[in-house]
Amino acid sequence: MTNKTKGIISLIVAAFGFALMSIFVKQAGDLPTAQKVLFRNGVSMIIAFTIITYKKEKYYGSLANQKLLIIRSVFGTFGMLLFFYSIDHLIVSDANMLNKLSTFFLIVFSAIFLKEKIKPYQIIAIFIALVGTLFIIKPEFDFDFVPYLTSILAAMFAGAAYTVLRGLREKENIYTIVLYFSTFSCIVLLPFVILNYEPMSSKQVMFLLLTGLAATVGQFGTTLAYKFAPSNQISIFNYSNVLFVSLLSIPVLSETPDKYSLLGYLIIFSASLYMYLKKQKS
């Protein structure tokens, strides 16, 4: 098995983990978003702490990288809150597909902050993705539009976090980055959760713990995938996440995306595939 094949398999496993995360979040029911995110990141924090202890790595990174670690954690926390909110208020597959716009935000932020030149085919792909987004949102600009907006903002914050992460991956162990982000978000969210705490049934606690476990599979699966192969060779397989979510949400949540959403999925995927093939060719 080649490293590229290993990377593809790892990324598909990660996509399945994130798909399960979305399903479990929805099944946890009507709870405050911050409470759900606290559970999700609390589980990741414990697992990352255990791995770092076993590997004898740095827990919270070097002093020189604290600024970047904090910025990445701030973006990641806002992105996670907005994404979980959109999952609760949208069809799960819609929320996940809109979250894939983070790839296109990454291109824009890399051009602004990392001074990377945007290639013409990337501009074309961004405009194609925007068209696909309109098919998913079907904008009427009423209150129902808000969850779609939060989903797009979640993708924007995720793109910003990935931009910072690109600068951190060469400087810090990935498990350290996960632990830092998870700990930061838990500390920030804990006061809000205490003030607005909603009692949970044992079933809800179970689903939130499963959310954290599934998210950890997704995080570490993605990390492993990009250790085996560079993103320009395997990133397109990340879209299997939307396929998994769609297939799971129909029997589990009784959610079915409409024909316009499906067309939007196809358009956004086509934009990403177009970029992927252009990168492969170059």
CA 216 remoteness from chain centre: 12
Q: Which residues of 211-250 are buried (b: 16+ CB within 10 A; e: fewer)?
A: bbbbbbbbbbbbbbbbebbebebbbbbbbbbbbbbbebbe
pLDDT at 223: 76
Residue 141 pLDDT > 70, yes or no?
no
pTM score of the predicted model: 0.92
Domain ranges of the chain: 3-281
Residue 138 pLDDT > 90, yes or no?
no
Q: Nearest to residue 248, comparing CAs of 51, 15, 64? A: 15
Q: What are the pLDDT digits (tens) for 7-51?
A: 899 989 999 999 999 999 999 999 999 999 999 999 999 999 999
Residue 110 pLDDT > 90, yes or no?
no
Q: For residue 33, what are the contacts with CB-CB under 8 A and spacing of at least 6?
A: 81, 84, 85, 88
pLDDT at 236: 84
Query: Residue 147, CB half-sphere, CA atoms under 13 Å: how many?
Result: 16
Query: Is residue 220 very low, low, confident or very high in pLDDT (cuts 50, 70, 90)?
Result: confident
The secondary structure of 205-223 as a DSSP string is HHHHHHHHHHHHHHHHHHH
Judge contact between 151 and 83, C-beta under 8 A. yes
